[in-house]
Copies of this chain bind each other. A is one copy, B any other.
Amino acid sequence: MALIVQKYGGTSVGSTDRIKNVARKVAKFHEQGHQVVVVVSAMSGETNRLIALAKELTPNPDPRELDVVVSTGEQVTIGLLAMALQAAGIPAKSYTGGQVKILTDDAYTKARILDIDDAAMRQNLSEGKIVIVAGFQGVDADGNITTLGRGGSDTTGVALAAALKADECQIYTDVDGVYTTDPRIVPEARKLDTITFEEMLEMASLGSKVLQIRSVEFAGKYKVKLRVLSSFEEESQGTLITVEENRNMEQPVISGIAFNRDEAKITILGVPDQPGIAYQILGPVADANIDIDMIIQNSGRDGLADFSFTVGRGDLDKTINVLDRVKAVINAKSIESDKSLCKVSIVGVGMRSHPGVAAKMFRTLSEEGINIRMISTSEIKISVVIEEKYLELAVRVLHKAFNLDSAA
């Protein structure tokens, strides 16, 4: 008998028929003798509907009140799922984040979990009940309702699994696992049976939107066994996200290829090459709440350097406005930008012990005549920025070059 935390996303509970389907899946685990805690999201579309109502009233709704409103989405789902299970003769009880309780800080709309009281859940589990918990939400120390931000239901699932020392945390979604790359671009892409937390983090942050990145960090930190599964396919075992040591020795060098279309590059030319210049440029950008991705600085001639970085394409105009003010202060020569770019990354813990991976990546791209505009590397990832028109081609040739097309 295992203790399993299952999380079902908005698509999986998007209608009452789908909620019945979830109830059947949960019931199966219950019948096998497992203890099950279920975390659910709002029915798909509901969170957006609620936010739209708020925006009709004011473009900048008060964050505390926005959390009061949007947290109702998950509250509806927990009640409905509990009813569906009870109607099927299976004892079940729903809990809001506040009822559990899931204590968070008071950073409304993006709160962090501080503590989880597992007493009520354990009591119910020991009585043979299914425990259903609203994802995405908690309460602060004063009893105000908070939400964890978009995708926060994954984090709730992992945090509950950690608090309960669950045997496994299963994230049910509309894909049946993590793929070597997007199958819409490479039909030969295949599902990975396992992936390490670190790889998953790199894959997720690079645009493979299977799991919310915070939940993966959380799972890695608390050693929660995390599995991504489809709520619609019965047979698949999904992808297990695991620590490196548990993996098959025959693991390929590269686990997957991630990409992001939404890249814009900004270069500030002729920047004085002196200490503190990076902060002078990026400080105001960060202050304007713009997320910066890759950063490259090259020393040049005459004590001048070129400084480049990428931002999300939607932030480009805002970033240039900020830099126009910075430019005068730091005496830069000019600002250039390019928004028709994308980023392609190869990810794999195997590259640590295999030299020549970068060279192979660059050679593969060069053979197709694809010019590399920026390069950035980490321990287990190599990213290149290229022209967006080459994205599909680059992903396909890299997928083949690193032997991802065939089963491992």
Contact = CB atoms under 8 A, between A and B. Distances in A.
Interface string A53-75: 11011101110111111011001
Nearest to A60: B87
Interface string A1-43: 0000000000000001001100000000000000000000000
A126 B19 CA distance: 45
Interface size class, chain A: 35 or more
Classify the interface of chain A: helix, strand, loop or mixed.
Answer: helix
B65 A82 contact: yes
A94 interface: yes
A143 interface: yes
A78 B83 contact: no
A20, A62, A84: most-surrounded residue (chain B CB, <10 A): A62
B84 A58 contact: yes
Given A16-B57, A20-B57, A143-B99, A80 B69 contact: yes
Contacts of A71: 75
Interface string A85-110: 01100000110101100000000000
A164 interface: no
Nearest to A78: B68
A76 interface: yes
Contacts of A284: none
A65 B53 contact: no
Interface of A: 16, 19-20, 50, 53-54, 56-58, 60-62, 64-69, 71-72, 75-76, 78-80, 82-84, 86-87, 93-94, 96, 98-99, 143-145
